[in-house]
Amino acid sequence: MNKREFAADPALFPSGGILEALRDHATDEWRAYLHHPFVEGLADGSLPEACFRHYLAQDYLFLIHFARAYALAAYKSDSLSDIRNAVAACAAIVDVEMGLHVEFCRGWGLTEAEMENTLEDTATLSYTRYVLERGLAGDVLDLQVALAPCVLGYAEIGAALSKEAVSQNPYAAWIEMYAGDEYQQVARDAAAHIENLAAQQGGRDRLDSLKRTFSEATRLEIAFWEQGLAAEKN
């Protein structure tokens, strides 16, 4: 496995912050997530195209539930500023990101109708429902921590892979999307929001619970990569 080093933007895991504590608790899971064979295949272009297309279709379904999660975050929020934050994130997915995803997938031979009618795989079901369950059972901080491995992990992966991606790599556009300034700023804003929520809602007093949530969500991210690789065998 490639031994590349992932050097996250310090704004994603600020020193002494709660996100740093959550990531450090899940060191093994986080490394397995970032260095997964699916990611390595994206990095060097060796990932079978069938695996990537399967991933893209499942990611379309995932984004729908991501939007639902941010709508739930709005309901769970106590302040107007937090409601606005959640509504803006939901709108960004529904009004912007989904359109970009559909356009990107069209280049890989996938239509929106096909993706919309794709059955959710087990890992997609498990991950998205876990995120929603944490939001329903807990508060907005629990929900945001469950979302964090996806938002922050893709930022780390995009930034690291962009340093070695070449134009001949069929996945260069995907890498550039997550390495780009726009997505990197989305991740930084999400991290800052979580740090603020943790300060307001006693995050340090419930650190054990938040660590479990972050670790579990990271394991489910790993399963999502595994699901993509399994498509080659189908």
6 belongs to a structural domain: no
Q: What is the pLDDT of residue 184?
A: 93
Query: Residue ranges of the alpha helices (H) in 163-206?
Result: 172-179, 181-200
Q: What is the pLDDT along the chain (234 residues), one digit of tens a residue?
A: 455 677 768 999 999 999 999 999 999 999 999 999 999 999 999 999 999 999 999 999 999 999 999 999 999 998 999 999 999 999 999 998 999 999 999 999 999 999 999 999 999 999 999 999 999 999 999 999 999 999 999 999 999 999 886 778 999 999 999 999 999 999 999 999 999 999 999 889 999 999 999 999 999 999 999 999 998 766
13 belongs to a structural domain: no
23 belongs to a structural domain: yes
Within 8 A by CB and 6+ apart from 182, the residues are: none
Q: How far apart are CA 23 and CA 29, in angstroms?
A: 9
Q: What is the pLDDT of residue 1?
A: 42
74 belongs to a structural domain: yes
Q: How far apart are CA 124 and CA 55, in angstroms?
A: 10
Instruction: Give the predicted TM-score (pTM) of the model.
Output: 0.93
Give how many domains the chain has, as a whole number.
Answer: 1
Q: What is the pLDDT of residue 234?
A: 60
CB 9 within 8 A of CB 155: yes
The distance in angstroms from the start CA to the end CA of the chain is: 24
CB 150 within 8 A of CB 217: yes
162 belongs to a structural domain: yes
Q: What is the pLDDT of residue 88?
A: 93
117 belongs to a structural domain: yes
5 belongs to a structural domain: no
| CATH for 128 | 1.20.910.10
3-state secondary structure of 234: coil
9 belongs to a structural domain: no
Query: Residue ranges of the alpha helices (H) in 122-179?
Result: 122-137, 140-162, 172-179
Q: How far apart are CA 65 and CA 120, in angstroms?
A: 11
Domain interval for residue 85: 18-233
Q: How far apart are CA 191 and CA 144, in angstroms?
A: 9
Q: What is the pLDDT of residue 233?
A: 67
Shortest CA distance to 25 belongs to which of 159, 216, 205, 197?
216
Within 8 A by CB and 6+ apart from 165, the residues are: 43, 171, 172, 175, 176
